[in-house]
Amino acid sequence: MTTDGALARLIRSAADHRPAAAAEVCDLCAAPVSADHSHLYDTGQAEVRCACRPCSVLFAETPRGEGHFRLIPTRRVRLPKVDTAALGVPVGLVFFVPRADGSVTAEGPSPAGAMRWQVEAAAWQRAVAGCPPLAGMTPDVEALLVNTVHGLDHHWIVPVDDCFRMLAVVRREWRGLSGGGRMWPAVERFFEDLTERP
């Protein structure tokens, strides 16, 4: 994933602890956007883009899994425990994104930055069979977000921009090889602040 556009601004803002110098604008039409603006997923560039209300409404009508720009939904659903160890991912802080082509990627933080894995299709199908809400996730724009570090048990369906916000928290707080003493409490606060919404 490239680091241009809305995602890069989000990470830089969280990492720097500085407010943006200029007001944010829609990445499609350059109109000013409100603080609670929508986001679009740019499938061509694999980036998150800021969207004003008219542009977000325009892309809200795009059929699921189609189009160059896809509106990122806002729903969050707390799930029962999902057996992510069976998905072949060796970390406890990770998110899984089903793709429109049927593949599933897993991403998580590391000392060297974000890591990405391909999830075996059969393993993902077993996870879906064990947790049916996973079958209703919108490709590319929703993710299974998991935190089982330090005995925690957080499993959520979230919009992908929540995952990028989590990565921004990690990037801002990470120290040394293991993350340091500030990162894990900050990650725990991030998960505590998640709320369900339709």
Amino acid at 33: V
Within 10 A of 175 (CB to CB), how many other CB atoms are there? 11
Residue 146 lies in a domain: yes
Which of 46, 71, 96 is the last residue before a domain boundary?
71
Domain shared by 53 and 87, yes or no: no
Domain shared by 109 and 170, yes or no: yes
Beta strands in the chain (DSSP E): 38-42, 47-51, 69-71, 77-78, 93-98, 104-108, 115-119, 142-147, 154-159
Residue 197 lies in a domain: no
Which of 71, 91, 118 is the last residue before a domain boundary?
71
Among 104, 79, 76, 108, residue whose Cα is nearest residue 92: 108
Supply the pTM of this predicted model: 0.83
- Structural domain count of the chain: 2
Residue in this structure with the two tokens 């919404």, named with its chain if needed:
197
Domain shared by 87 and 59, yes or no: no
Alpha carbon distances (Å) from 137 to 19, 73, 85, 114, 171? 33, 10, 20, 22, 27
Per-residue pLDDT of the chain (198 residues; tens, 9 = 90+): 444 566 666 555 555 554 444 689 999 999 999 999 999 999 888 889 999 999 999 888 766 656 789 999 999 999 999 988 889 887 899 999 999 999 999 999 876 777 899 999 999 999 999 999 999 999 999 999 999 998 889 999 999 999 989 998 998 998 887 788 899 999 999 999 999 999
Domain shared by 64 and 94, yes or no: no
93: domain range?
77-192
